[in-house]
């Protein structure tokens, strides 16, 4: 057969044969194993549903979107390795990570590989303050969350002695410092601010300090296992205080680990999109599959949803063009009508206060 004959035949038959187009790949990255697995599952469920909805509507730029799920165990070193792997896979979007330290460690690697990164959960101010062109977040920042925590404590516990106990992760240390800053600005001096290693589960020393200092309110921006441990040990030692915590406790893992001791714990977290009537059908779709979309689920969904709209407006997945669209446009999403500032921080409402009430998280009225 002569060269060019198949093309001539195709023309004669009025049939054009184009090369197959590859799928667009997005990745969702978080702790899919280990103590933070419940929150990693929320990220995965959000991204997977968003991709399903995009594909059911015809895909993106005429192409099918494929999602890969990667486990970073909330470890910055593992996160960096995952980022390099995803760079080789030429993914267009990194929906993640959960932990701030992991997001920060991976972000510059994503930039080198031309990958947009949108975290649904990392609140450390450093993540967007470094001026990288490819980083965005659908959640709030530690300075926003720290302000809400401090205002809540100043308003509700003005006459109580307050202590701050945080772990050594980027998230926990950052939120503790921001909260301390706003408490001090509001005229309250904490009784102490102590740091412990993230893997520590023995809080005897801290509890002795709480008893000795007569602390009545403890701000504890750490994770579910640690919070459950200090509550159980406090009960054993008959040390009483009100626990106020940050967004990592907004998951079933905390309630399961702490049991009845979770009752009355107060937590800051962004507004729950499942309460928005515009998300009623999507929430029902999740529930029909036996999954309740809590905490970070919608924030991960929004990361993919908003990115896809930016890709459409940019006319492709090239990082700089998509980043420009993200910063210049506003987008309809499960979080409402949102946009991003020049740093990549979202315009959506920041944080509200919840309380653990009879096994459920309820807005604190």
Residue 8 confidence (pLDDT): 37
Cβ neighbours of 126 (radius 10 Å): 16
Residue 14 confidence (pLDDT): 42
131, 154: one domain:
no
Residue 38 confidence (pLDDT): 92
Average pLDDT over residues 10-29: 62
Helix (H) or strand (E) holding 224: helix 224-237
Token reading at 114 = 């031309």
Condensed to tens digits (0 to 9), the pLDDT of residues 180-234 reads: 999 999 999 999 999 999 999 999 999 999 999 999 999 999 999 999 999 999 9
243, 262: one domain:
yes
Query: Which residue, of 242, 269, 296, is where some domain finishes?
Result: 269
Condensed to tens digits (0 to 9), the pLDDT of residues 188-199 reads: 999 999 999 999
Distance CA 62, CA 47 (A): 19
Residue 285 confidence (pLDDT): 97
- Which residue, among 282, 311, 313, 312, has the nearest Cα to 297 in the 3D structure? 282
281, 136: one domain:
yes
Proportion of the chain above pLDDT 90, given as a percent: 87
Distance CA 215, CA 28 (A): 41
Query: Which residue, of 215, 247, 269, is where some domain finishes?
Result: 269
**Least confidently predicted of 5-14, 130-139, 228-237, 337-346:** 5-14
Burial class, 202, CB count within 10 angstroms (exposed 0-12 / middle 13-18 / buried 19+): exposed
Condensed to tens digits (0 to 9), the pLDDT of residues 70-117 reads: 999 999 999 999 999 999 999 999 999 999 999 999 999 999 999 999
Q: What is the DSSP letter of 192?
A: E
Token reading at 331 = 């987008």
Distance CA 204, CA 66 (A): 48
**Least confidently predicted of 57-66, 161-170, 249-258:** 249-258
Burial class, 325, CB count within 10 angstroms (exposed 0-12 / middle 13-18 / buried 19+): buried
Condensed to tens digits (0 to 9), the pLDDT of residues 22-32 reads: 799 999 999 99
Give the number of domains in the chain: 2
Whether residue 160 is predicted with pLDDT greater than 80 in this model: the reply is yes
Whether residue 130 is predicted with pLDDT greater than 70 in this model: the reply is yes
149, 262: one domain:
yes
Mean pLDDT of all residues in the chain? 93
253, 293: one domain:
no
Token reading at 165 = 């106990």
Average pLDDT over residues 285-301: 95
Give the three-state DSSP class for 353.
strand
The sign of the CA dihedral 290, 29, 266, 228 is positive
| 87 falls within a domain | yes
Q: Taking the CA of residue 195 as centre, how many other CA atoms within 13 Å lie in the half-sphere pointing to its CB?
A: 11
Q: Is the CB of residue 171 less than 8 Å from the CB of residue 221?
A: yes
| 4 falls within a domain | no
Residue 332 confidence (pLDDT): 97
235, 178: one domain:
yes
Strand pairing report for 266-269 and 217-219: unpaired
Residue 176 confidence (pLDDT): 98
Residue 9 confidence (pLDDT): 36
Give the three-state DSSP class for 221.
coil
Residue 365 confidence (pLDDT): 62
Helix (H) or strand (E) holding 262: none
With cut-offs at 50, 70 and 90, classify the pLDDT of residue 364.
confident
Q: Is the CB of residue 51 less than 8 Å from the CB of residue 66?
A: yes
As a whole number of angstroms, the longest Cα–Cα distance in the chain is 92
Pick the most confident of 2-6, 11-15, 36-40: 36-40
| 359 falls within a domain | no
With cut-offs at 50, 70 and 90, classify the pLDDT of residue 309.
very high
| 354 falls within a domain | no
Distance CA 138, CA 46 (A): 12
Whether residue 302 is predicted with pLDDT greater than 50 in this model: the reply is yes
261, 280: one domain:
no
165, 102: one domain:
no
With cut-offs at 50, 70 and 90, classify the pLDDT of residue 21.
low
Residue 5 confidence (pLDDT): 39
Whether residue 6 is predicted with pLDDT greater than 70 in this model: the reply is no
DSSP string, 116-144: EEEESS---HHHHHT--TTEEESS--HHH
Angstrom CA distances, 160 to 182, 184, 195, 280, stand at 16, 14, 21, 41
Average pLDDT over residues 282-299: 95
Backbone angles phi, psi at 193, to 5 degrees: -135, 115
Q: What CATH code is carried by the domain that includes residue 190?
A: 3.40.50.2300
Residue 316 confidence (pLDDT): 98
Query: Which residue, of 221, 238, 269, is where some domain finishes?
Result: 269
Whether residue 45 is predicted with pLDDT greater than 70 in this model: the reply is yes
188, 200: one domain:
yes
Q: Is the CB of residue 138 less than 8 Å from the CB of residue 348?
A: yes
44, 193: one domain:
no
Average pLDDT over residues 312-323: 98
Residue 329 structural domain:
24-140+275-339
- Which residue, among 292, 327, 334, 289, has the nearest Cα to 310 in the 3D structure? 327
**Angle of helix 100-112 versus helix 76-89 axis, rounded to 10:** 30
| 179 falls within a domain | yes
């Amino acid at each position: 057969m002569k060269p060019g004959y198949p093309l001539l035949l195709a023309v004669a038959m009025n049939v054009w044969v184009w090369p197959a187009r590859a799928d667009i790949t997005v990745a969702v990255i978080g702790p899919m194993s280990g103590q933070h697995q419940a929150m990693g599952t929320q990220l995965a469920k959000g991204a997977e549903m968003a991709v399903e909805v995009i594909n059911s509507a015809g895909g993106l730029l005429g192409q099918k979107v494929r999602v890969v799920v990667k486990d970073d165990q909330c470890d910055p070193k593992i996160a960096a390795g995952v980022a390099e792997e995803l760079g080789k896979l030429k993914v267009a979007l990194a929906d993640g990570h959960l932990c701030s330290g992991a997001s920060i460690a991976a972000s510059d690697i994503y930039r080198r590989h031309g990958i947009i990164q949108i975290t649904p959960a990392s609140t450390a101010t450093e993540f967007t303050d470094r001026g990288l062109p490819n980083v965005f977040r659908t959640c709030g920042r530690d300075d926003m969350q720290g302000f809400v925590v401090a205002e809540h404590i100043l308003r509700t516990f003005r006459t109580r002695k307050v202590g701050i106990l945080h772990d050594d992760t980027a998230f926990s240390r950052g939120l503790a410092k921001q909260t301390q800053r706003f408490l001090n600005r509001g005229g309250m001096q904490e009784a102490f601010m102590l740091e412990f290693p993230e893997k520590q589960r023995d809080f005897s020393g801290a509890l002795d300090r709480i008893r000795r200092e007569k602390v009545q309110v403890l701000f504890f921006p750490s994770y579910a296992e640690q919070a459950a441990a200090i509550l159980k040990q406090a009960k054993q030692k008959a040390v009483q205080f009100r626990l106020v915590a940050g967004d990592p406790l907004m998951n079933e893992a905390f309630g399961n680990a702490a049991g009845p001791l979770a009752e009355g714990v107060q937590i800051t977290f962004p507004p729950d999109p499942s309460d928005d009537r515009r998300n009623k059908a999507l929430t029902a779709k999740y529930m029909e599959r036996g999954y309740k979309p809590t905490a970070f689920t919608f924030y991960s969904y929004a990361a993919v949803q908003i990115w896809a709209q930016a890709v459409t407006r940019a006319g492709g997945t090239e990082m700089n063009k998509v980043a420009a669209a993200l910063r210049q446009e506003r987008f309809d999403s499960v979080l409402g009508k949102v946009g991003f500032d020049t740093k990549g921080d979202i315009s959506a409402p920041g944080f509200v206060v919840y309380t653990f009430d009879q096994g459920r998280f309820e807005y604190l009225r």
